[in-house]
Amino acid sequence: MEMIYELRILLHVVIAAILGGVIGYEREKTNKPAGIKTNMIVGGSVALLVSMGEAITIHFQEMGLTEVIETDPTRIIQAIIVGVSFIGAGTVMQVQKVYKVKYLTTAASILYSTGLGISVALDHYVLAIGLTVFILIIYYPVKWVEDKFIKSSEKEGEGEEE
């Protein structure tokens, strides 16, 4: 594999990790699990694994094994999503003794970082950056609406007797 190709994969990993870190920042700032480092590692590792799917295919072609070994890089994406789902489930299950579902948004942010990593690995940089901005819109303005209108109406209902 040429060094330029390897440097491109490294660039994918770095960009995806940085964008994942932006997502993790909000989680970290609000004292939720799976913050900056986790989202950076998820985004970067996904970009690496997806990029390596192409490298694996090229490797088998160069060895003349395309007839013996079928490669399907989309299977890598399937495996990544399953693996990341286990990470997310572990985050949610962490508080099972409370008998309340918590940290679901954090688990979803890990999955979102996965999508960013895939986007970057497939050279869809504008999409990945746009998705990062979009999740910040989900985190901040939508949270404000939630706090202002939904949670305030729940507090009003708590004082009432049935």
Model confidence pLDDT, tens digit, residues 73-113: 788 888 898 888 888 887 775 555 656 667 788 888 899 99
> Which helix (H) or strand (E) element contains residue 31?
none
Note the pLDDT of residue 97: 61
| Ranges in the chain, pLDDT < 70 | 1, 71, 93-101, 152-162
Note the pLDDT of residue 1: 56
In angstroms, the first-to-last Cα distance of the chain is 70
Distance of alpha carbon 18 from alpha carbon 12, whole angstroms: 10
Q: Which residue intervals of the chain are DSSP H helices? A: 3-29, 36-62, 73-93, 104-121, 125-139, 141-145, 152-158
Record the pTM: 0.76
**Mean per-residue pLDDT over the chain, rounded:** 83
Note the pLDDT of residue 159: 47
Domain layout of the chain by residue ranges: 3-135
Judged by DSSP in three states, 85 sits in: helix
Note the pLDDT of residue 55: 80
Note the pLDDT of residue 98: 59
19: left (phi over 0), alpha (psi -120 to 50) or beta: alpha
User: Which of the 8 DSSP states describes residue 70?
Assistant: -
